[in-house]
Amino acid sequence: MARVRRAAPAGRALIEHDRALGPVLVAGADEAGRGALAGPLVAAAVLLRPGAAGLERLERLDDSKRLRPALRDELEQEVRAVAEAVAVCVVAAAAIDEIGIQAANLTALSRALDGLAAPPDAVLLVDGFALPMQGRPHRALVKGDATSAAIAAASVIAKTTRDRVMERLDAAAPGYGFAEHAGYGTARHRAAIAQLGPCAAHRRSFAPISRAA
């Protein structure tokens, strides 16, 4: 009987990508919540040593959007256990309204990277964006959360952190279903906005909210 080959874990290829960069340390940054109608934007950065022992604990790693919530929670703990450093930057809805989502996104990613205090020889990777305010050289990596272990790890931290924030907002503002849809523009969320009007957690600069206000 022919032996069935199992696909290699996605995280293995992500780790190999970062190992191939050569330097001892790789920092990755990603965000969660950019397109939501409510709640904060959360950026995270993770500093990994790709050649370190124990990094196989991240072999189940993948783009956080492709992971089950329970697995994301498990991987958050694994990332925090093996990472050299983890940093998070949260931008509230009111600040997003004040400076705009693009500026909020780029600023949060840059601040998260700064929070790592990575050594000068570390490679800095960002999922999809160049950061004009980042003083250190860095690389914008398209689909970085499906390419680099450091960025994928950051995507997990950003997503799990933001989900917990949205669960607290759900308790503070019941009726909108924040714990279910995390503030994104689902049919249920839009129906709740039409019925209840926007709450303090909503981004009033976003068209669906400004029209409902």
pLDDT number for residue 23: 75
Name the token pair of 194: 């039409």
Residue 74 counted as domain residue: yes
Which amino acid appears at position 3 of this protein?
A: R
Cα(20)–Cα(164) distance, rounded to whole angstroms?
34
Residue 19 counted as domain residue: yes
- Least Cα distance to 83 among 57, 62, 111, 63 occurs for 57
pLDDT-based confidence at 39, cuts 50/70/90? Answer: very high
Residue 195 counted as domain residue: no
Residue 189 counted as domain residue: no
Per-position b or e across 134-155, b if 16+ CB within 10 A of its CB = beeebeebeebbbbbbbbbbbb
CATH number at residue 139: 3.30.420.10
pLDDT-based confidence at 52, cuts 50/70/90? Answer: confident
Residue 193 counted as domain residue: no
Name the token pair of 124: 């800095």
Residue 108 counted as domain residue: yes
pLDDT number for residue 3: 52
The model's pLDDT over 106-164, given as tens digits with 9 standing for 90+, comes to 999 999 999 999 999 999 999 999 999 999 999 999 999 999 999 999 999 999 999 99
Residue 207 counted as domain residue: no
What DSSP character marks residue 38? B
The model's pLDDT over 62-83, given as tens digits with 9 standing for 90+, comes to 888 888 999 999 999 999 999 9
* Full residue range of the structural domain in which residue 68 is found: 10-163
Report the domain count for the chain: 1
Residue 130 counted as domain residue: yes
